[in-house]
Every structure is written in structure tokens, then in C-alpha cells.
């Protein structure tokens, strides 16, 4: 009898606990009647910044990361911001205030590319819709490693007065850090002005990296080649001294065997963004390949390191380098960097004869850059091969210095016109106020 009572008690115990679990599950799945704010009225929405056409550019984030102003997350409508300020955030969020002075908190979950980010604002007027462009807390070291496009999904949670009201997911297409956006076309609702262009070719300056650890070795090698005994920027005093320093870097680059190679195209499908692939400093050094802008940022990096002030001139479909030849920046010299591909020193040096001289077949490849007297001195062994190559480098340097002079003279007015966006004069030192190196 006692066993039967214990058995019944056990059954009652199991039934009561099972009923409790059922009630718990039902209560968790049922709508929370204690919620104060209706998600439909709060109308929490998220969107990719329309400027970016669904894409995210690590190069843009890394270049501008130190210049994001906290005021850009204020209570103003995002549409009121200038297009350039809109570059700081890849997304927008919109919320309708359910009460006066509602406290809004948006939480963006972490991912492999960003930390948890919290945006908190006061929504002053009930019924008004507010739009914000939150600046995410990026993992910059991870962004620098993105070398091919990949997806990124973000989860955003909306709280009103500490009550969770809604959750949204946002999908982004992450582009390679080598992709430099040159311009964005923003479609407007105004029929008279259907679209506007946001020019971003100032981002070329982000690929100029005067702090690259390879540069001291390059400068050491250049000094050992005998053209200059030291690099001292404008302290040398004269234009000739400045250009001699640039010639030393030029000669070192020729000895490296930098050749022309254009890989400006990308897989980016956007029809509203103009994008170009740019090699980083170490990529140019290691692969010995560069197109016009790659070589410009390579040389500009080294010139910045030795204290000179480089300028990149951008014309439709081309870019070339300039640099001031005096400290007061009154005079500028030009340099067509693609001229480095006109000869190949490593190929020549692989074919030296036992005495260390170039055979006639190899000598003819550079003969057009030498005078008859220089060729005769080399034939008579009054010049070494190293000395001969310095003469060739000097000749090519002169040609590179005059190559764009006519184009520059014809387009100076366009470079000075801020509305002529297809012509840019990018002073790297000035741009350092807003654009940081991607390093």
C-alpha cells in the first residue's frame, strides 16, 4: 500500500513538472504583453549607404579612420550631411520616435571585421523619423588583410528606453583593400539633377606609405650606388641637389627592374562606382611591376621619407608624379614613372661577359640613351658597367622629367579648378590632414 502511494506521488510530481515546462515554453513563445513599444510604430529599418551600392571598401575605412567625427552621429537626418561626410559609414538606420525624448540605443553585433558598436541618441519629438549613420568600431588589422571580395552580415538590435523593440540583419559585399574607389555616383530624386558625383581620387594618397619598413633598405642601397652621399631633402639647398637625390632613387628603381604592368580592372560589379586596383608599396617592390599610379605612389612614398614634397597629377586615364624642388614650394618638377620600363637592367646584368662588361648585343639595347662619346669610353674600358648604367639612368631621368611637360602646361588651369574632377593635383602632404596611409 505504501509503495502504491509513493508511486502515485511520483506520477503527480512528474505531471506537475511537465505541466510547468509546457507553461514555460508557451509563455516564452507567446508575445510579451508587457512590451511598451510596438515595433510596427517604431519602424526600425536599416540600409546600406546608397553611396556604396551595397559594397564596403576597406581602403576607404582605413584611409579615413582617424578623421571620423563624433558629431556625424548626431540627431540630424543623414540626408542633410555632405556626401564626403557620408563616406565614414557604410550603413544607415532609421527609427520613428514613439514618445517625446525617447532614448534610442542601436547595438551592432561583432563580426570578424568589427567590434560591438553602440549608437545612443535622444529622439526629441514623438512621431518624427530620425536617420543616423553609425560609425562602426572596425578591426583595422583585419580589414588590412582583405585581399579578395567576401560577404559580411551584420546584426543590429534596436532598443527604446532600454526595451528591445526589433532586430535587423544587413548584408554587405566587402571589397579587396587593393580596390580604390575613384568616384561614386549618387542618384538624386531631383529630375533636374538626376545624379551627383562624389570624387574620391584623393584616396590615392592612402597608398603612399612613407613609413614602409622596406624604405630604409632602399635608401641604403641607393647611397651605395654612388650618385649621392646622403639624403637630406631640401636641406641640400639647390634644385640640382634635390633632383640628384630623386635621380639616385630612380637609378635604384631601374636596377630593381621595375616594369610596366596594368591590372587596374577589378571584379566589382557596381555600375555607380568607379574603382581601380592599386598595388601596395611592398607589392611593387616584390613583383617589380607597376602601372602609372602604382609607380607614382611607390616613388612618392620614398620622396616623402627623405623629406621631399611629392604631388600626384591625375588626368583622364593617366597619372604622373611631381615634386617640389624648393622648400618654399614655388617650383615643381615632373616625372613620368612608367619610363622605368623602357629598359631592364637585371636582364642586362645577367649577360655580362667574364670581364664584367656588356656584350654588343646587350649594349645595343641601351645605346640610344647614350652619346657616341660615352659609348666609345665604354668600348675603351674607361667606363665601368656600373658607371655606364648611371649615365643611362640619367638620360632616362631627363626624358621622364620632360615627358609630361606639355600636357602639364596645357592642363594647369584644370588642375587648379576644383570643378574639373577628371584633373587632380594631389599634394600628399596636404592630404595627410585627412587621408592616412594604409599600412
Long-range contacts of 365-373 (CB under 8 A, 24+ apart): 366/392, 369/343, 369/395, 369/396, 370/395
Q: 80 pLDDT exceeds 50?
A: no
CA distance 208 to 319: 14
Query: Is 198 strand, coil or helix?
Result: strand
The pLDDT, as a whole number, for residue 419 is 83
Q: Is 60 exposed, middle or buried (0-12, 13-18, 19+ CB in 10 A)?
A: buried
Closest Cα partner for 254 from 347, 373, 334? Answer: 347
Task: Give the three cell numbers for residue 255.
Answer: 636596377
Kind and range of the H or E run holding 151: strand 150-160
The pLDDT, as a whole number, for residue 7 is 52
Closest Cα partner for 210 from 98, 126, 307, 71? Answer: 307
Task: Give the three cell numbers for residue 336.
Answer: 613620368
Task: Give the three cell numbers for residue 244.
Answer: 640628384
Query: Is 18 strand, coil or helix?
Result: helix
The pLDDT, as a whole number, for residue 76 is 36
The pLDDT, as a whole number, for residue 186 is 75
The pLDDT, as a whole number, for residue 340 is 96
Q: 14 pLDDT exceeds 50?
A: no
Mind listing the pLDDT tens digit for each residue in 141-170? 999 999 999 999 999 999 999 999 999 999
The alpha carbon of 334 is separated from its chain's Cα centroid by a whole number of angstroms, namely 25
Mind listing the pLDDT tens digit for each residue in 364-390? 999 999 999 999 999 999 999 999 999
Q: Where are the domains of the chain?
A: 39-177, 201-431
Range in 22-36, 112-126, 237-251 with the lowest mean pLDDT: 22-36
- Given a contact cutoff of 8 angstroms between Cβ atoms, the answer to whether 164 and 157 are in contact is yes
CA distance 7 to 27: 30
Mind listing the pLDDT tens digit for each residue in 162-210? 999 999 999 999 999 999 999 888 766 555 555 688 889 999 999 999 9
Q: 74 pLDDT exceeds 60?
A: no
Q: 84 pLDDT exceeds 70?
A: no
Task: Round to the nearest angstrom and report the end-to-end CA distance of the chain.
Answer: 83
Q: 68 pLDDT exceeds 70?
A: no
Name the phi and psi angles at 332, rounded to 5. Answer: -130, 140
**Second CATH level (architecture) for the domain 201-431:** Roll (3.10)
What is the percent of the chain where pLDDT is above 70? 84
- Given a contact cutoff of 8 angstroms between Cβ atoms, the answer to whether 72 and 89 are in contact is yes
Q: 73 pLDDT exceeds 80?
A: no
Closest Cα partner for 123 from 158, 91, 89, 154? Answer: 158
CA distance 43 to 96: 6
Mind listing the pLDDT tens digit for each residue in 93-137? 999 999 999 999 999 999 999 999 999 999 999 999 999 998 899
Q: Is 432 exposed, middle or buried (0-12, 13-18, 19+ CB in 10 A)?
A: middle
Query: Is 371 strand, coil or helix?
Result: coil
CA distance 333 to 321: 8
CA distance 333 to 310: 9
Task: Give the three cell numbers for residue 22.
Answer: 509546457
Computed over every residue of the chain, the mean pLDDT equals 87
Range in 264-278, 333-347, 413-427 with the lowest mean pLDDT: 264-278
Mind listing the pLDDT tens digit for each residue in 207-227? 999 999 999 999 999 999 999
Mind listing the pLDDT tens digit for each residue in 384-436? 999 999 999 999 999 999 999 999 999 999 999 988 888 999 999 999 999 99
Give the CATH fold of the 39-177 domain.
Immunoglobulin-like (2.60.40)
- Given a contact cutoff of 8 angstroms between Cβ atoms, the answer to whether 395 and 370 are in contact is yes
Q: 44 pLDDT exceeds 50?
A: yes
CA distance 94 to 365: 65
State the angle between helix axes of 385-402 and 239-256 in degrees (0 to 180), rounded to the nearest 10: 110
- Given a contact cutoff of 8 angstroms between Cβ atoms, the answer to whether 303 and 422 are in contact is no
Residues with Cβ within 8 Å of 261's Cβ and at least 6 positions away in sequence, in order, are 287, 289, 290, 291
The pLDDT, as a whole number, for residue 120 is 96
Q: 17 pLDDT exceeds 60?
A: no
Sheet holding 179-187, edge to edge: 195-199, 179-187, 273-277
Cα angle: 96, vertex 101, 107; to 5 degrees: 60
Neighbours of 379 (CB within 10 A): 12
The pLDDT, as a whole number, for residue 422 is 86
Ranges of H-type helices in 30-91: 39-42, 58-64
Kind and range of the H or E run holding 387: helix 385-402
Strand partners, 153: 171
Strand partners, 132: 93
Locus of grid cell 664584367:
356
CA distance 136 to 69: 12
Amino acid at each position: 500500500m505504501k509503495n502504491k502511494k509513493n508511486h502515485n506521488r511520483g506520477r503527480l510530481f512528474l505531471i506537475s513538472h511537465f505541466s510547468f515546462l509546457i507553461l514555460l515554453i508557451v509563455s516564452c513563445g507567446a508575445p510579451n504583453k508587457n512590451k511598451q513599444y510596438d515595433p510596427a510604430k517604431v519602424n526600425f529599418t536599416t540600409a546600406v549607404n546608397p553611396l556604396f551600392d551595397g559594397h564596403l571598401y576597406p581602403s576607404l575605412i582605413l584611409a579615413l579612420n582617424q578623421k571620423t567625427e563624433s558629431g556625424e552621429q548626431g540627431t540630424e537626418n543623414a540626408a542633410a550631411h555632405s556626401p564626403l561626410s557620408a563616406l565614414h559609414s557604410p550603413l544607415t538606420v532609421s527609427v520613428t520616435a514613439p514618445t517625446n525624448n525617447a532614448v534610442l540605443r542601436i547595438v551592432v553585433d561583432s563580426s570578424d571585421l568589427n567590434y560591438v558598436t553602440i549608437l545612443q541618441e535622444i529622439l526629441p519629438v514623438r512621431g518624427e523619423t530620425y536617420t543616423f549613420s553609425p560609425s562602426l568600431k572596425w578591426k583595422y588589422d583585419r580589414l588590412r588583410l582583405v585581399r579578395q571580395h567576401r560577404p559580411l552580415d551584420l546584426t543590429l538590435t534596436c532598443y527604446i528606453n532600454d526595451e528591445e523593440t526589433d532586430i535587423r540583419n544587413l548584408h554587405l559585399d566587402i571589397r579587396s583593400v587593393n580596390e580604390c574607389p575613384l568616384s561614386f555616383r549618387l542618384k538624386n530624386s531631383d529630375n533636374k539633377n538626376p545624379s551627383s558625383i562624389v570624387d574620391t581620387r584623393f584616396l590615392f594618397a592612402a597608398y603612399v606609405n612613407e613609413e614602409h619598413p622596406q624604405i630604409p633598405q632602399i635608401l641604403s642601397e641607393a647611397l651605395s650606388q654612388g650618385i649621392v652621399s646622403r639624403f637630406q631633402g631640401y636641406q641640400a639647398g639647390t634644385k640640382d641637389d634635390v633632383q640628384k637625390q630623386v635621380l639616385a632613387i630612380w637609378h635604384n628603381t631601374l636596377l630593381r627592374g621595375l616594369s610596366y604592368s596594368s591590372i587596374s580592372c577589378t571584379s566589382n560589379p557596381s555600375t555607380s562606382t568607379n574603382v581601380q586596383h592599386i598595388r601596395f608599396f611592398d607589392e611593387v617592390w616584390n613583383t617589380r611591376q607597376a602601372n602609372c599610379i602604382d609607380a607614382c605612389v611607390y616613388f612618392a612614398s620614398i620622396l616623402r621619407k627623405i623629406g621631399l614634397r611629392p604631388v600626384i597629377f591625375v588626368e583622364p586615364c593617366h597619372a604622373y608624379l611631381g615634386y617640389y624642388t624648393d622648400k618654399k614650394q614655388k617650383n615643381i618638377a615632373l616625372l613620368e614613372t612608367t619610363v622605368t620600363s623602357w629598359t631592364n637592367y637585371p636582364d642586362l646584368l645577367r649577360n655580362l661577359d667574364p670581364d664584367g662588361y656588356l656584350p654588343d648585343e646587350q649594349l645595343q639595347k641601351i645605346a640610344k640613351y647614350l652619346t657616341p662619346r660615352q659609348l666609345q669610353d665604354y668600348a675603351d674600358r674607361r667606363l665601368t658597367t656600373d658607371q655606364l648604367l648611371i649615365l643611362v639612368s640619367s638620360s632616362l631621368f631627363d626624358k621622364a622629367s620632360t615627358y609630361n611637360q606639355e600636357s602639364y602646361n596645357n592642363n594647369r588651369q584644370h588642375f587648379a579648378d576644383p570643378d574639373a574632377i577628371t584633373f587632380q593635383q594631389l599634394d600628399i602632404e596636404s592630404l595627410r590632414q585627412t587621408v592616412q596611409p594604409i599600412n
